[in-house]
Amino acid sequence: MDKLGIAIIGLRMGYSHFQNARSLKNANLVAVCDLDEELTERTQREYQVPFATTRFEEVLERDDVHVVSITTPDYLHLPHTLAALEAGKHVLIEKPMALNVAECEVMVNKAREKNLKLMVAHVCRFYDFFAQVKRWSEDGTLGKPYYIETSYLHNYEVIPGYDGWRYDPEKRHPFVGGACHAVDLARWLGGDIEEVHAYGNHFNIPQQKWEDHIIANVKFANGAIGRIMNSSGCAHPYNIECEVWGTNGSIAGDNTRDTAQLALRQTGYSKWLSYPKPTMAKAIASELSHFVNCIVEDKTPLIDGADGAKTIATCWAVIESIATGQPQKVRNDF
């Protein structure tokens, strides 16, 4: 085949996937699907997508669909992913990978059974600034990282989701659904997390049944320590933040401001240096391109199923720590 055929499932969260899929060099957008018939038809008409439907099964029946990007609500990730893999399609699944660890394990095993690519869309790994921090954490610029801090701040008061699914405790835990951004970023920068100890409180969103502010101390397998924070009801602009403290330097920045703060031993670390950086960049375009290239070149995606499952396992260890008041070990064997 000359190009892979991509289908986007879910046109609300999937709108950004849809826009970026149209510009890929080695893939074509061939199908879109959403339960909203008017939205589906309008998208097909305005952007001349070859096929549009409200029935997920019809997408999976098509021979011109090789890759399925699943951007449906969290509680549908498991059934949609399993159906796509069973139909022989490679799957890019929006974060969070699934609701819990058991669902992740089923998805990982199915992808292995079918010998298909499964990638979790943890977009932070594709932001230019966070990627630069990753490089400096590995090439000696910052030295050996010993403390990593990340946070995901996003007020969900006015975005309950269709039929309020984001507030339904059976369909979403806010730490899994939102803080997985911060958890995955911390894991990417620091490696596997082996233990957590967390606290949470509930001050801001009464209709949300879980804690709306959570903070977790974490211990990495390599000896580093850190902290992860999530606030889903905060009076604070949306932001994803990270700090890495290393033996040769420290850096602090986020995805929305145009500068970060850097201190290095070799330049004198008594004052912060202002480091110019892009804000968010075109991360989803890079994410999609990476996954398609992994399929074409038969490479393991940056966030494969096993890696995505470790992030969900870390999230649930945090939730269990809040419930028990005790530190919790994190499962990393997927």
Low-confidence ranges of the chain (pLDDT < 70): 1, 281-282
- CA 133 to centroid of chain Cα atoms: 17
- In sequence order, the β-bridge partners of residue 329 are 195
**pLDDT value, residue 280:** 77
Angle value at C-alpha 254, between 208 and 249, nearest 5 degrees: 130
223: left (phi over 0), alpha (psi -120 to 50) or beta: left
pLDDT tens-digit profile of 206-227?
988 899 999 999 999 999 999 9
Q: Any idea what DSSP says for residue 267?
A: G
> Would you mind telling me the total number of residues written for the chain in this entry?
334
pLDDT tens-digit profile of 99-137?
999 999 999 999 999 999 999 999 999 999 999 999 999
Q: Please state, in angstroms and rounded to a whole number, the distance separating the CA atoms of residues 42 and 22.
A: 16
How does DSSP assign 229-246, residue by residue?
Answer: EEESS-SS--EEEEEEEE
| Peptide bond just before 96 cis, omega within 30 deg | yes
